Chains A and B, each alone.
Chain A
Amino acid sequence: MKEQTFSKSQEGKASTIRKTFSRETCVQMTIFADPAIVWALLTRASDFPRWNSTVTSVKGAIKAGETIELKSKLDEKRTFKLKIKEFIPEKRLVWGDSQGSRVYTIDKGGGGGIIFTMSEKIGGPLFPLFARYIPPFDDSFQRFAADLKKEAESIQKAKE
């Protein structure tokens, strides 16, 4: 399988590294909003479908150690049961299952913005067998990041 070079440089544009036993997709976006707003949007499960066009529903509490049930537009028939593996307020959130983990990070950016990064690595010894059945994440990641930016910046700009 041909390997690709991983690049985070293109703002809002997802990139994927494909390897024999894994696949990793990443997107990065500068968001001009307070980290608390971005964190609130990422951790209020029931509110996800209102602003995020890639998610159909999220049930459960997004808190350390909890398990959530997520339905994605990528595969609406499937319910993903995901454990919250890391929960560091306004910095880092990780959820996932045995096949992979989704990592969200919030870092300080320039000019009053924050740098939001979302990545997901899936893989394992049997990955080559089922890889072809997993749809590409790139488009979904780009929409997720764009929706988050739009919603967070619209809250930030609200009248005082």
Chain B
Amino acid sequence: MTASVQDAEDILQDTYIKAQAKIDTFRGDSSLKTWIFSIASNLARDLLRSKKRWPETVTDFCREETLRNRQFFQEALQIRETSPQGKFEIKEHIAFCFTCVSKSLPLEQHLALLLKEVYGFKVMEIATILNQTDAMVKYYLHVGRKKMIEIFDRRCSLINKEGICYQCTELNGIFNPKQKAEEELVKIEMARDAENKSKEELFDLRMKILQELDPFESGAAELQLHHLEHNRQVMENYLEEDQ
């Protein structure tokens, strides 16, 4: 959501402090999990409301900047060689890619989509978390999903042969030079069954990848978070210059 480990950790800590301070006001109208997520979502909204949303071409833009940045590659290769969380895996990059591209959605759509598709909340629970009506949550989810499906269908070469983005296989070639990308892709249902599934089903498979990954604990966490921090800095500089 924030694309920043530091911001995510701050929100986590502030959520804990606020929940602790306000636990007396929890009346049990929702589950404790829903109540805590509403605190966290409000903090995320407060942080992100004043920030510009990213363009949907974020990965193209950041790729160009990455190619110009030798230090980034040196650091990434160092992580790849030395860190227990430095593996490069295509499915981890699919999740990373979603994190970046979903920041092009309006904030409410972004939040609603994550709460539903990644954290598995129901519409009425999301309505409580976001302090919105069920109808508006349905609207945010529907439009957010449609937009993401359309972006990935147009861009992602894993699901559409005419897709213009192939960064996950490109990076796999850099970080895993001896491994064939095709063999890795066969292990990923979304890529393996791309021709036989509808756009909706392919999006659900993409979400399944996100649900099964822990971005902070996986074997690729350090490498992906390093890449994410790079993209965040690139985008913040770009959006600042654009103002």
Q: Is A160's CB under 8 angstroms from B139's CB? A: no
Q: Is B146 an interface residue (CB 8 A)?
A: yes
Residues in A whose Cβ lies below 8 Å from that of B141: 158
Q: Is B143 an interface residue (CB 8 A)?
A: yes
Encode B118-149 as 1/0 by CB contact (under 8 A) with A: 00001110000000011110110111001100
Interface residues of A in 111-140 (CB under 8 A from B): none
Q: Is A7 an interface residue (CB 8 A)?
A: no
What is the chain B residue whose CB lies nearest that of A151? B142
Range of interface residues on chain B?
10 to 19
Residues in B whose Cβ lies below 8 Å from that of A88: none
- How far is B150's CA from A156's CA once the two chains are assembled, in angstroms? 21
Range of interface residues on chain A?
10 to 19
Name A34's contact: one of B122, B135, B146, B150 (CB within 8 Å). B135
Encode B141-162 as 1/0 by CB contact (under 8 A) with A: 1110011001000000000000
- How far is B133's CA from A26's CA once the two chains are assembled, in angstroms? 31
Name A156's contact: one of B122, B124, B138, B143 (CB within 8 Å). B138
Residues in B whose Cβ lies below 8 Å from that of A156: 135, 138
Main secondary structure of the interface of A (DSSP, over half): helix
Q: Is A155 an interface residue (CB 8 A)?
A: yes
Residues in B whose Cβ lies below 8 Å from that of A44: 143
Q: Contacts A155-B142, A158-B141, A158-B142 given: A36-B135 contact, CB under 8 Å?
A: yes
Q: Is A36's CB under 8 angstroms from B139's CB? A: yes
Q: Is A154 an interface residue (CB 8 A)?
A: yes
Encode A74-89 as 1/0 by CB contact (under 8 A) with B: 0000000000000000
- How far is B123's CA from A37's CA once the two chains are assembled, in angstroms? 14
Residues in A whose Cβ lies below 8 Å from that of B136: 36-37, 40
Residues in B whose Cβ lies below 8 Å from that of A37: 135-136, 138-139
Residues in A whose Cβ lies below 8 Å from that of B147: 50
**CB pairs A–B below 8 angstroms (9 shown):** A34-B134, A34-B135, A37-B136, A37-B138, A40-B136, A44-B143, A47-B143, A158-B123, A159-B123
* Chain B residues within CB distance 8 Å of chain A: 122-124, 133-136, 138-139, 141-143, 146-147, 150
Which 3 residue pairs are nearest across A and B when measured between Cβ atoms? A34-B135, A36-B135, A155-B142
